[in-house]
Chain A
Amino acid sequence: MAAAEGSKIDPMHQFLIEPVAGSHWVVGGYDLSFTNSALWMVVTLASLAAFMIGGMKRELVPGRWQAAVEGFTGFVSAMLVSNVGPAGKRFIPYVFSLFMFILFANILGLLPFGVVPGVHPFTVTSHLTVTGVLAIISFAIVLIVGFGKHGFHFFSLFVPHGTPVVMIPLIFVVELMSFLVRPFSLGLRLFVAMTAGHILLKVLAAFVINGINMGPGYVALVSLPSFALMVGITLLELLVAGIQAYVFALLTSVYLNDAVNLH
């Protein structure tokens, strides 16, 4: 690989999926190993469950933890009510799980290398298979709700009100394309945003390590500025982790609005 020859540190290695125990469990021709991706999904789920159970005490005067959990639930339900209307209350459990899972997976993937020695954090959402499945679930719910509620009248979504009759065939095709491209853009956005940030962090880390290896002059000239930049980029990535989770949940609720209210 021409790009990786420059430095000895390969920025793509962090996305490698490998079995945790070291051996592949092949069942009926399928590799069903417990991979690092699966491990970090379990870690995400466990920390999310701990966060929710710790905050669901239903005390009359909420403590700090309960206030944090109520802040998240209130945030998601306000987003759905303002985008979909009162009918959006039905979708709060789904959109809340989606938002919290993506948020926790993004932030856990951003953990530095040394928190637990020898354990490398893995970003679950940096793989198109994971984000693609999340996007397909959202898209499937939109289709099921749309066709279940409106039947074939759902196709009127593709012809906006007041379209001249001559324009209807063209507009229908354009709107259909923009509708069908939604799951791809939804999954691709989250996957690429996480991948790009993590590659950038690893490239800067390679600058720091290679600068240290090359002598004191390079430390002052290359390593220190790169390290300062890394701190800033890590904060930016924390912001991106939050924004991407928010955007995924927001776009899901906007698409649900189309399915429930048909424009």
Chain B
Amino acid sequence: MDVDAAKMIGAGLAAIGMGLASLGVGNVFAKFLEGALRNPGAADSQQGRLFIGFAGAELLGLLAFVTMIILVFVA
């Protein structure tokens, strides 16, 4: 296979990872809301942990994006 074509296919495949990370980010907020509606009194104190979880889930999607950019522009 042509190397340039293979890079583009690889970049497209890496984009799938960003979609999966969106599932993760959605899950973080969904579970937080689920818990917060059961016990609204404790919800505000846990907002920091919510965003730590969000940051972790988001980072893995951003790594897929970095892979994509490296395949297209650097490699």
**Complex Cα gap A125–B44 (Å):** 29
Determine whether A172 belongs to the interface, using a CB cutoff of 8 Å to chain B.
Answer: no
Minimum C-beta distance from A138 to chain B (A) = 14
B56 to A, closest residue via Cβ: A185
Minimum C-beta distance from A178 to chain B (A) = 11
**Complex Cα gap A3–B11 (Å):** 11
Minimum C-beta distance from A107 to chain B (A) = 19
* Chain A interface SS verdict (over half): helix
Determine whether A133 belongs to the interface, using a CB cutoff of 8 Å to chain B.
Answer: no
In contact, A189 and B52 (Cβ under 8 angstroms)? no
Give the A-B pair count, Cβ closer than 8 A.
44
Which size bracket describes the interface of A in this complex? 20 to 34
* Chain B interface SS verdict (over half): helix
Choice from B48, B59, B72 contacting A185 with Cβ under 8 Å = B59
Minimum C-beta distance from A20 to chain B (A) = 25
A189 to B, closest residue via Cβ: B59
In contact, B58 and A3 (Cβ under 8 angstroms)? no
Across-interface contacts of B8 in A (CB, < 8 A): 2-3
A82-B54 contact in complex given A188-B62, A189-B62, C-beta closer than 8 Å? no
Minimum C-beta distance from B45 to chain A (A) = 8
In contact, B51 and A247 (Cβ under 8 angstroms)? yes
